[in-house]
Amino acid sequence: MRFLGKENTVHAYGAIQKTCVCLARENQELAAAILDNFALAGNIEDVPTNAPRTVQRVRTQIDTLYYILGIEMMPAAQAIDLRWPKNPKWKLSIVTKKIFAQYRQVVLFMKSDRVLTYDT
């Protein structure tokens, strides 16, 4: 069961970790404060608002988080399929069961390792 595969497992879901790390790093960069100050209004105001740019950054972070959550669902569902049937004491909450069932209607269990690039 290395890398959450069942048969012929070499890497399976291991490669998508790189995508999540990249997206998380992008969110870290977007969270960095904008520290540039420019004198405004004939040098009367020295603290310009960064609100419009901050709103754009937060919107991008939210979109990125949706991608991260979607990608994280792939190995989580795979792990549930590999562990749940074999361990009767292991239980999922009602909400988790519902989300898992909905996810499995769209994304099937990955029985053997393969390239995931072309999955839609």
Q: What is the 3-class SS of 63-120, one letter each residue? A: HHHHHHHHHHHHHHHHHHHHHHHHCCCCCCCHHHHHHHHHHHHHCCCCCECCCCCCCC
Cβ 77 vs Cβ 104: under 8 Å: yes
| 41-55 pLDDT, tens digit each | 666 666 666 778 888
pLDDT tier, 92 (very low <50, low <70, confident <90, very high otherwise)? confident
Whether the pTM exceeds 0.85: the reply is no
What distance in Å separates the CA atoms of residue 38 and residue 5, rounded to the nearest whole number? 55
